């Protein structure tokens, strides 16, 4: 079967750095994506890793280790507006199907 | 660039009634997805189309759910008859046919369905 594990909740203070981990177990793997979703809003794409290593996009970075079936999303210089749910998603072999994790709810405190 | 359009935004129906949702993907996007998102959970893929062909519908409850994508553009998702556990947000998303690293899916605002 296919499963993705990520923490259900994370709390951090404004200006801090937070890391959201994701481990996956899938029958095939092509890449790991991260999406952000504010309450009542649509998921929006943040990043995608197909190869091992770190991808940086502004305050957000994403890391992948294919040998460990593990990735993380790193958010730096946290702002109140970063309070949202963050989902990791695995793209299966062939790139046709994307499976989402249950999501991590991030609370940013002043 | 116009985004993924969905309608209606909200729908309240009684159990055993029927309901249909509509989605218009971003122009040029060959892949269209329908996801079900229950409150507090991640999106669950119901069905995925490539143009007007079904790529995956393994998690679609086919006894009550149906979906079609006419002419490879707009899509409708229907539930008949609805059950209380169908209360969720139904998200439509689209993306280019995967080539290389282009994997971003664009989501619509969703339809919030409440079955009472």
pLDDT tens digits for B78-114?
Answer: 999 999 999 999 999 998 865 445 568 899 999 999 9
Residue B103 and residue A48: Cβ atoms within 8 Å? yes
Chain A CB contacts of B109 under 8 Å are: 41-42
Q: What is the pLDDT of residue B51?
A: 87
Out of B50, B103, B108, the one facing A91 most closely (by C-beta) is B103
Q: What is the pLDDT of residue A95?
A: 55
Residue with tokens 């951090």: A12
Residue A97 and residue B56: Cβ atoms within 8 Å? yes
Residue B42 and residue A103: Cβ atoms within 8 Å? yes
State the nearest Cα–Cα gap between A15 and chain B, in angstroms: 26
Instruction: Give the mean pLDDT of chain B.
Output: 91
Residue A96 and residue B50: Cβ atoms within 8 Å? yes
**What are the E-state strand segments in chain B?**
5-7, 10-13, 19-24, 31-37, 44-50, 53-56, 65-69, 75-79, 88-95, 106-107, 111-115
Residue B107 and residue A43: Cβ atoms within 8 Å? yes
Rounded to whole angstroms, how far apart are CA atoms B78 and B102? 30
Q: Which residue of A has its CA nearest to B45?
A: A99
Residues counted in chain B: 116
Q: How does pLDDT run across A88-99, given as a tens digit for each residue?
A: 998 776 556 778
């Amino acid at each position: 079967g296919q499963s993705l594990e990520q923490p259900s909740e994370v709390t951090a203070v404004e200006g801090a750095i937070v890391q959201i981990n994701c481990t996956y177990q899938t029958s095939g793997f092509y890449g790991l994506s991260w999406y952000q979703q504010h309450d009542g809003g649509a998921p929006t794409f943040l990043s995608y890793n197909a190869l091992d290593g770190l991808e940086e996009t502004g305050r957000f970075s994403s890391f992948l280790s294919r040998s460990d079936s593990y990735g993380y999303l790193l958010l730096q210089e946290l702002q109140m507006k970063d309070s949202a749910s963050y989902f990791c998603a695995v793209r299966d072999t062939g790139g046709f199907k994307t499976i989402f994790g249950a999501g991590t709810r991030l609370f940013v405190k002043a | 660039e116009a985004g993924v359009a969905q309608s209606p935004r909200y729908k309240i129906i009684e159990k055993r009634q029927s309901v249909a949702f509509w989605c218009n993907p971003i122009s040029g996007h060959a892949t269209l997805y329908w996801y079900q998102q229950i409150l507090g959970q991640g999106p669950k893929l119901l069905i995925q189309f490539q143009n007007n062909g079904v790529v995956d519908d393994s998690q679609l409850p086919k006894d009550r759910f149906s979906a079609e994508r006419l002419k490879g553009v707009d899509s409708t998702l229907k539930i008949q008859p609805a059950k209380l556990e169908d209360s969720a947000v139904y998200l439509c998303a689209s993306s280019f046919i995967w080539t290389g690293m282009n994997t971003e899916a664009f989501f619509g605002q969703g339809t919030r369905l409440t079955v009472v």
